Amino acid sequence: MMKDLHLFLLLIFFFFPALQAHVQQTFDYEIPGQERPSLAPENPEPVPRQFRTFSLGMELDQLKQALIDDQLFLFRGDRDVSFLPIREETLVETTGSSFIRRSYFQLSDQAVYIMSFSLDARQIDHYSVFTSFVRRYGEPVILTPGEAVWESDETRVSLERPLTVKYVDKVVFNRLVQESRNMENNQLLSREDFLADF
C-alpha cells in the first residue's frame, strides 16, 4: 500500500509538469473576435459651431430673438440675462422644454463664445447623443469617463456627463484666459512694488 502511494506520488511529481505544459500548449489559443465596424464616416463633417439657429459669435440681440423664436426654449426676455462685472461678460441662462433642461450662453464683447445645453436624461440618453456625434464628426479626439471632445483650430465641442453638450469658441476663450493670466501677473507685480515701498 505504501509502495503504491510512493509510486503514485512519483508519477505525479514527474508527469504532472509535462502534462501541464502539454495542456497549456493545447489550450493557450485565443479565438479572434469579430471586428466591430466603426460608426465614424470616412469623411467626417467639420466640428460644428452651431446648434439649431444658435451659433458661436452671434450677438446678444440675435441670441435673444433666436431664443424667442425657438420652441425648445422658455426664454423670459431680459429676466434671463445677467451681467458678470468681474469679467465684463453677459450670461444668458434659460430653461428649456422637451429635450433641453437648461441652456447657458456666455458672451464676451457682446458675442457668444460658450453655449452649453443640459439635456433631459428622461427624454434622451448619453449613448444616443454620443453615437450621433461620431456618425457626423468622427471619433472624438479626447475620450474619458467624464467627457468626449471634438476639436478644430477654432472650436471645441464636448459631450460631458451626465448629459451636457458644450460649444466653445477656442480663439476667444484662449484670449480671455491669457488676459486673466496677464492681470494676475500685473497684480502680483503691483503687490511686490507696494511691499518694496516699506
Residue 1 lies in a domain: no
Residue 156 lies in a domain: yes
Q: Give the pTM.
A: 0.75
How many structural domains compose the chain? 1
Report if residue 19 sits inside a domain. no
For 71-100, letters b (16+ CB in 10 Å) and e give eebebeeeebbeeeeeeebbebebebeeeb
95 inside domain: yes
3-class state of residue 103 by DSSP: strand
Assess if residue 7 is contained within a domain.
no
For residue 189, is it within any domain?
no
190 within some domain: no
In a domain, 76, yes or no: yes
* Grid cell 483650430 in the structure block, residue: 153
Tell me which residue range forms the domain holding 84: 50-177
Compute how many other C-beta atoms are within 10 angstroms of the C-beta atom of residue 138: 18
| pLDDT tens for the chain, residues 1 to 198 | 555 555 555 555 555 555 455 545 544 556 565 666 678 888 999 999 999 999 999 999 999 999 999 999 999 999 999 998 877 899 999 999 889 999 999 999 999 999 999 999 999 999 999 999 999 999 999 999 999 999 999 999 999 999 999 999 999 999 988 887 877 766 665 666 655 666
Q: How wide is the angle at C-alpha 96 spanned by C-alphas 93 and 97, nearest 5°? A: 170
